[in-house]
Amino acid sequence: MSALADTWYMTGRAFRAFLRQPMYVAFTLIQPMIWLLLFGQLFKSVTQLPGFGASNYETYLVPSIVVMSGFFGAGWGGMAILDDLTRGVLDRFLVSPVNRASLILGRLIVQVLSIVIQAIIILLFGAAVGASYHHLVMGVLVLMVATNLLATAIGALSYGLALLVRREESIIAASNFVLMPLQFMSTGFMALVLMPHWMQDITKFNPVNWTLVAGRGALGADPDWGPIFENLGYLAVLMVLCAWVSTRAFRSYQRSM
Q: Please give the residue that has the higher pLDDT: either 103 or 197.
A: 197
The answer, yes or no, to whether residue 1 has pLDDT greater than 60, is no
Whether 246 and 160 have beta carbons less than 8 Å apart is answered as yes
pLDDT tier at 120, thresholds 50, 70, 90: very high
pLDDT at residue number 122: 94
Work out how many domains the chain is built from and give that number. 1
Q: What is the rounded average pLDDT of the residues 12-35?
A: 88
* Spatial separation of the C-alpha atoms in residues 84 and 129, rounded to whole Å: 41
The answer, yes or no, to whether residue 69 has pLDDT greater than 80, is yes
The answer, yes or no, to whether residue 192 has pLDDT greater than 90, is yes
Residue 217 sits in which domain range? Answer: 3-256
* Spatial separation of the C-alpha atoms in residues 63 and 217, rounded to whole Å: 10
* Spatial separation of the C-alpha atoms in residues 249 and 161, rounded to whole Å: 8
**Per-residue pLDDT tens digits for 211-243:** 999 999 999 888 899 999 999 999 999 999 998
pLDDT tier at 87, thresholds 50, 70, 90: confident
The CA-atom distances, in angstroms, between 9 and each of 3, 4, 95, 99, 148 are 10, 9, 17, 11, 21
* Spatial separation of the C-alpha atoms in residues 243 and 197, rounded to whole Å: 32
The answer, yes or no, to whether residue 82 has pLDDT greater than 90, is no
Whether 210 and 235 have beta carbons less than 8 Å apart is answered as yes
The answer, yes or no, to whether residue 200 has pLDDT greater than 90, is yes
251 HSE (CA, 13 A, CB side)? 6
Q: Which helix (H) or strand (E) holds 223?
A: none
pLDDT at residue number 257: 66
Sign of CA dihedral 61, 210, 223, 113: negative
* Spatial separation of the C-alpha atoms in residues 90 and 70, rounded to whole Å: 25
* Spatial separation of the C-alpha atoms in residues 4 and 9, rounded to whole Å: 9
Q: pTM of the prediction?
A: 0.91
CA-nearest of 5, 155, 7, 17 to 83 is 17
Q: Please give the residue that has the higher pLDDT: either 88 or 141.
A: 141
Rounded (10°) CA dihedral 78, 80, 81, 82: 90
Lowest model confidence (mean pLDDT) among 178-182, 225-229, 236-240, 251-255? 251-255
